[in-house]
Amino acid sequence: MTHNPTIQENGLPSTCSVHAGETRPKPGHALIDPIFQTSTYTFDNMADAVTYQEAHNKGHVDDRFEYGRYGNPTVAASEARLAALENAETAIQVASGMAALTFTFLSMLPSGSHIVMTDDSYRRTRQFVEEHLKKFNIGCTVVPLGDFAALESAIRPETRILFSETPSNPYLYILDVERFAEVGQRRGILTVIDATFSTPINLRPLDWGIDIITHSATKYLGGHHDLLAGFIAGKEKVLKPVRDYIGILGGISDPNTAYLLLRGMKTLGLRIRQQNASGQAVAEFLASHPAVEQVWYPGLKTHPGHEIAARQMKGFGGVLSFTIKGGRQETFRFIDALQIPHISPSLGGTESLLLHPASMAYSDLTAEQCLQVGIPQNLVRFSLGIEDPEDLIADLAQALNT
Ligand SMILES: Cc1ncc(COP(=O)(O)O)c(C=O)c1O
């Protein structure tokens, strides 16, 4: 059995989505890659064991396995598919998006080092960087996303990572990834991007010179709200310490999740194109509605990231945020009147989901504290599913008019 190198190297996104990483021929001449439900692997004799160990000591082996914490054929197929989609030399699948971030930071940041991260970001990531890295004597500076003067002046001799999301959460701010990569290269610092919101269909940060990307594969890559997983992708040499450390930390991803990811990724291009189109239609509808105060969507010319997104991205994505005219009560009334989207904290799957950040992701903060971190009571985040945009708009219209 071999992975499909031709597709991996030359395929366009949807061809990669379906075929990259698959083995040919497959056991039993099945069409679909099997789920290898095993914790360990066997060697035919000691010569076989020694040959494997020697190869393993020289570098990563992805077609022969030793023990489940160090690799699995179904997981390797899923990793190869994501690597092909992101134009990465290699990818590592882990237990969740947070595992992808925390493992990357823990393996790349020695004690006494420092990280610079941009501000509008997933709350748990910022919590880990600001509150938990301290325990390892690792400092951090948070700068506004897009403020390159602040980014440059935050860099210290001990800075090892520049980190950002793009588009960011919840305001969909857009990072100029080319400029970010240039700063990292000029200053000799690793650049890391959480590319969960962009997906390889809309943006491939590695093509712009970024060193490492992470994904919450729980979102668009899985795409069906039925799994939790994360990916780390980049050059083999750069990711070697991360791969080695994960073998010790142990937060790996199982073959059943890999199977669901292989299946989910097959329709990535179709889903993202639909979500891009719906995002634009819904954003334009909301922006013109008298009951809506403001809309944040990079496809709108009024969004501060529009020009960079139009230049660097192939689509503006399937998440938008907006404020309703009024306060918490009016916003709750609007949310409760909606018929199609579920009220739920995730994003990126086939079902549309709606989040009220102030009372869900920031429920431990008072209204005043929420405002201080830029989360007003009338803010709503809308993650579009793959429903027809006409139905979503009709639903939004009736809820806004109640
Ligand atoms: C941008 C971003 N990164 C990382 C994560 C964490 O991913 P997971 O829930 O898979 O750990 C999330 C989760 O919402 C996210 O939105």
Each domain of the chain, given as residue ranges in start order, spans 2-266, 269-400
Closest to 125 in 3D by CA, of 154, 149, 96: 96
- Ligand 1 contacts CB of residue 253 (under 6 A): no
Ligand 1 pocket test, candidate residues 171, 196, 214, most atoms within 8 A of CB: 196
- Ligand 1 contacts CB of residue 165 (under 6 A): yes
Ligand 1 pocket test, candidate residues 124, 227, 257, 360, most atoms within 8 A of CB: 124
Fold of 269-400: Aspartate Aminotransferase, domain 1 (3.90.1150)
- Ligand 1 contacts CB of residue 228 (under 6 A): yes
CB within 8 A of 233, min separation 6: which ones? 82, 83, 86, 88, 90, 91, 92, 206, 212, 213, 214, 215, 239
Least confident of 28-32, 55-59, 233-237, 326-330: 55-59
Closest to 105 in 3D by CA, of 120, 116, 118: 116
- Structure confidence at residue 7 as a pLDDT band (50, 70, 90): low
| Second-level CATH architecture of 2-266 | 3-Layer(aba) Sandwich (3.40)
pLDDT on residue 238 = 97
Ligand 1, closest atom to CA 121? Answer: 1
CA of 223 to the centre of ligand 1 (A): 13
CA of 363 to the centre of ligand 1 (A): 17
In whole angstroms, what is the distance from residue 345 CA to residue 172 CA? 16
In whole angstroms, what is the distance from residue 62 CA to residue 64 CA? 6
User: Does 59 or 283 have the greater pLDDT score?
Assistant: 283
pLDDT on residue 1 = 45
pLDDT on residue 260 = 98
